[in-house]
Amino acid sequence: MATLFQIDRVVGSKMREKTYAKSKIEFVPGHVEMKSAPICPEWILNGDPVFRNAVLSTSPDGLATTFFWDSTAGQFNWFYDIDETLCILEGSVIIRADSGVESRLNVGDTAFFPAGSHAVWHVESYVRKVAFLRRPLPRILLYPKRVIRAGLQFLRAEVGGKRPEP
């Protein structure tokens, strides 16, 4: 860890301060207050579902967010403009993919919805989930990101006296 600190000092104190300021562990004790989060009325297919959510965390770069989310009974469309991985915490939901395949998710079940996908949700009574949302980088930025990551790994290995494995 001392090696990484030295690399940050060479790059500049502003970067080091920003990096360490964003690396604090945050605890939220007790109850998380859920707030109303209605969806587009045209998405609702059946019933009168009520939606709520609470933001638990957001990454420093703004590309990832963690939410609690819940819904009362109803059937509705959901269009995913970002990647979402979820885990059901309470209740259950039947999800129908565009392919027509239906899956029931119960407490402890997980699912992944890539950006650009669509599903029909059927909540029979109530469902509560924790959702991990990630905004994918545009394809044009993926290669430069890999090159930068490889360069940083190489620098860390050089300073630390170890070469990265191929």
Residue 151's pLDDT is: 72
Distance CA 106, CA 108 (A): 6
Distance CA 13, CA 87 (A): 39
Looking at domain 35-134, what is its CATH homologous superfamily? Jelly Rolls (2.60.120.10)
Residue 10's pLDDT is: 37
pTM confidence score: 0.69
Residue 145's pLDDT is: 62
22 and 60 Cβ atoms separated by less than 8 Å:
yes
100 and 40 Cβ atoms separated by less than 8 Å:
no
Residue 72's pLDDT is: 98
Beta strands in the chain (DSSP E): 35-36, 44-46, 51-58, 64-79, 83-91, 93-97, 102-105, 110-113, 118-134
Residue 8's pLDDT is: 37
Distance CA 151, CA 153 (A): 5
Q: What is the pLDDT along the chain (166 residues), one digit of tens a residue?
A: 333 333 333 344 444 444 444 457 777 677 889 999 999 999 999 999 999 999 999 888 788 999 999 999 999 999 999 999 999 999 999 999 999 999 999 999 999 999 999 999 999 999 999 999 998 766 676 566 667 777 777 777 766 655 555 5
Provide the H-helix boundaries in the chain: 2-11, 13-21, 139-160
